[in-house]
């Protein structure tokens, strides 16, 4: 296969429609895949808003072809997010990928926009990843995606990482080792220590419950959004009286590609012209 044929195939396969099974993959599955691939600890899809994760996913697909030195992994502001998306767009242009990047919407860190982008890019990754070994931490020069931009643990500080090696990025998630807090509880009075531990547990459970409520509300919103699309398509098909298939397809596409802010109203079917009645002879 020549280079030209490969580029042509990549361009053709980059157009993934909204009804592709990729857009029905849940965010938990996506986050699990993303964290494993890039050695991250993301808990929300909107954490991808700065564009760095999208750039590195494409770097895994096309090793050495993404300008990784230009990617700002610790970007915190929208003007820095835009720089990362410029790196991503440069690769898209190079590989003739026709996917339009909604930079403004993605930078706003809205869950739905970033969910759809992550769904698309995972589908593209599944289609084009060559199975090569990929060291995500090494490729980004040891930089962390955390807001501090601190270096991740390397071979020189493995003993420190071993204390919190319950998860892949335990050093980020764990605030302090359990051993450091044990002496304080042992030295405190039994009554006060028990009360403090209970208060801490209650606060932790309350925080988890609040987080779960927000997650459920977010999922319900996404469910209603996509159900609304399907219902609009159903109504459009049921009430269609036009013979022009192209016009019907256009209405359905407007519904499928609309966002939460858009209001899509199907075009009314043209009124039938009454046939002329024959005039009775006088």
Long-range pairs of 172-179 with CB within 8 A, sequence gap ≥ 24: 172/41, 172/144, 172/146, 173/41
Mean pLDDT of 116-122: 93
51 or 217, greater pLDDT: 51
Residue 169 pLDDT exceeds 50 = no
Query: Residue 12: its pLDDT value, please?
Result: 44
Mean pLDDT of 18-40: 85
Task: Tell me, yes or no, if the pTM score tops 0.85.
Answer: no
Mean pLDDT of 63-72: 94
d(CA 124, CA 281): 72
Average pLDDT over all residues of the chain: 75
Mean pLDDT of 167-178: 36
d(CA 231, CA 239): 12
Contact 173, 167 (CB under 8 A): yes
Q: Which of 174-178, 259-263, 265-269 has the lowest mean pLDDT?
A: 174-178
């Amino acid at each position: 296969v020549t280079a030209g044929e490969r580029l042509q195939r990549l361009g053709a396969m980059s157009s993934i429609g909204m009804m592709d099974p990729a857009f029905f993959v849940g965010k938990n599955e996506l986050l699990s895949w993303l964290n494993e691939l890039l050695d991250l600890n993301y808990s929300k899809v909107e954490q991808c808003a700065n564009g760095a994760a999208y750039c590195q996913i494409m770097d895994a697909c096309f090793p050495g072809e993404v300008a990784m030195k230009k990617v700002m992994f610790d970007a915190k502001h929208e003007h820095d997010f835009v720089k990362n998306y410029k790196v991503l767009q440069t690769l898209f242009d190079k590989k003739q990928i026709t996917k339009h990047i909604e930079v403004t919407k993605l930078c706003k860190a809205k869950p739905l926009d970033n969910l759809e982008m992550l769904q698309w890019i995972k589908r593209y990754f599944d289609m084009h990843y060559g199975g090569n070994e990929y060291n995500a931490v090494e490729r980004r020069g040891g930089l962390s995606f955390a807001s501090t931009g601190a270096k991740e643990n390397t071979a020189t500080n493995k003993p420190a990482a071993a204390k919190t090696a319950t998860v892949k990025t335990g050093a980020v998630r764990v605030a302090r080792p359990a051993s450091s807090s044990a002496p304080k509880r042992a030295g405190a009075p039994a009554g006060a220590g028990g009360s403090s531990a209970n208060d801490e547990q209650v606060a932790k459970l309350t925080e988890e419950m609040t987080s779960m409520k927000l997650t459920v509300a977010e999922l319900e919103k996404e469910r209603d959004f996509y159900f609304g699309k399907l219902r609009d398509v159903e109504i459009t098909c049921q009430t269609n009286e036009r013979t022009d298939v192209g016009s019907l397809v256009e209405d359905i596409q407007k519904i499928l590609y609309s966002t939460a802010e858009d209001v899509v109203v199907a075009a009314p079917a043209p009124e039938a012209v009454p046939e002329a009645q024959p005039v009775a002879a006088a």
